[in-house]
Structure 1
């Protein structure tokens, strides 16, 4: 698994074995789910050919291809995290090249490197023996508050994480970092909003559901407790606004 930048990793107190286990479990399960979906589609085609004709099979294949690829879904929601690290440390982690909430993305990448402007990172992925690849670019921007405190409920900082996949909108996260309201020293709460930036087809749904299975584990390995998480899917006929 690619290594995060050393200064941020050392301050996160990452449980490397637990993080590797979460990332490996995600990668294996996601591949099984993707291949299962592909085999089901192929089985439907062969069944139509056997029961009717090649032309009927071709029609079924066309319908399945359109149904699986049509960008009709979008995802949004919120997550609350809690950690022992101070707000400034958490803000640094979320604004780094490897934000904690994207561990499953940079964890499975073949290469992770800092962005050219130093704000965010680039994750390179290859498959089919290197014949195909894609690049996920993550831009981060931290906005420290103006003397905010836990008493008035304002965050100590806000971090925007914006992702583009091969130059196209991929997704965004808006994180509000604040000291825990109970006043416990070193306890920080992070409210993360998942902001829709694209629509996706049903073929991407298994990958998304598998990621949900390992999301909390990947965060726990980095020292973040998932207090609450509310993520939902919606059918959309129009593209979400950036």
Structure 2
């Protein structure tokens, strides 16, 4: 069951959304630039040769850009002044802190039972994608664990596991994450810009990133 929202949740959402907007303003132009470059290569091939070779170039471009070669995974350790119960509620809620770059740019966020759904439009609103986040929680020795299973339009997208524990007057959150499928090079701008803003958007929500290890393979 997704927890009921509190006033602190509302403040967290409000603080995160400007960072998500900055991310979107940088990511969308870069993704568009990649498309423009691909079209330019096609047109260049057409103008210097003929239609048939240009079509061959276009086919190669599509294959290269869509070939599933990228996969991300890593770990992070966060610290916050919030108590473990509040942190657990935040991670198990409809807008988990680690997915703020997704729900922060969503046109709509819906929640039902243990699943939250984000509808995100792109291509100037002509197309949209739907992320579904299913949440599972468990009590473990010395803390709490929240697991997030994310799908995109029904296909595996990524998994997050947050282990939450008290450490003195602070709460520590250890996170493991992995993308559940490989993506094409067309997603590279999105991935690189997200790496630029992921810590900033966590800090906007009251979390200090103590350490992070991330990999793109």
- Among 151, 157, 166, the alignment partner of 2:144 is 157
Matches within 5 A, 1:15-94: 16=14, 18-94=15-91
Inter-CA distance 15–160: structure 2 relative to 1 (3 Å threshold): closer
Task: Say yes or no: does 1:218 pair with 2:201.
Answer: yes
SS at match of 2:116: strand
- Among 134, 141, 147, the alignment partner of 1:139 is 134
Which residue matches 1:237?
none
Q: For residues 194 and 49 of structure 2, what CA distance do their matches in structure 1 show?
A: 38
Q: CA deviation at 1:227?
A: 1.1
Which residue matches 2:108?
111
CA contact (8 A) 2:118 2:132 kept: yes
SS at match of 1:114: strand
Task: Write the deviation string for residues 1-43 of structure 1: whole angstroms up to 9, x where unpaired.
Answer: xxxx872452585273x42321111111111111110111111
Higher strand share: 2
Q: For residues 150 and 16 of structure 2, what CA distance do their matches in structure 1 show?
A: 22
**Structure 1 unmatched runs, 5+:** 150-155, 235-242
Give TM-score, length-normalised by structure 2. Answer: 0.92
Question: How many correspondences in the alignment?
Answer: 215
Q: CA RMSD in A?
A: 1.8
Which residue matches 1:123?
118
Q: CA deviation at 1:195?
A: 2.3
Task: Write the deviation string for residues 74-129 of structure 1: whole angstroms up to 9, x where unpaired.
Answer: 111111111111111111110111100000100111100112x2x13111123446
CA contact (8 A) 1:15 1:221 kept: no
Q: For residues 201 and 30 of structure 1, what CA distance do their matches in structure 2 show?
A: 16
Q: For residues 104 and 72 of structure 1, what CA distance do their matches in structure 2 show?
A: 23
CA contact (8 A) 1:157 1:177 kept: yes
Matches within 5 A, 1:184-199: 185=169, 187-199=170-182
Q: For residues 120 and 179 of structure 2, what CA distance do their matches in structure 1 show?
A: 22
**Structure 2 unmatched runs, 5+:** none
Task: Say yes or no: does 1:229 pair with 2:212.
Answer: yes
Task: Write the deviation string for residues 138-160 of structure 1: whole angstroms up to 9, x where unpaired.
Answer: 00111012xx33xxxxxx01110
Task: Say yes or no: does 1:167 pair with 2:167.
Answer: no
Q: For residues 55 and 9 of structure 1, what CA distance do their matches in structure 2 show?
A: 61
Which residue matches 1:7?
5
CA contact (8 A) 1:82 1:227 kept: yes
Which residue matches 2:184?
201
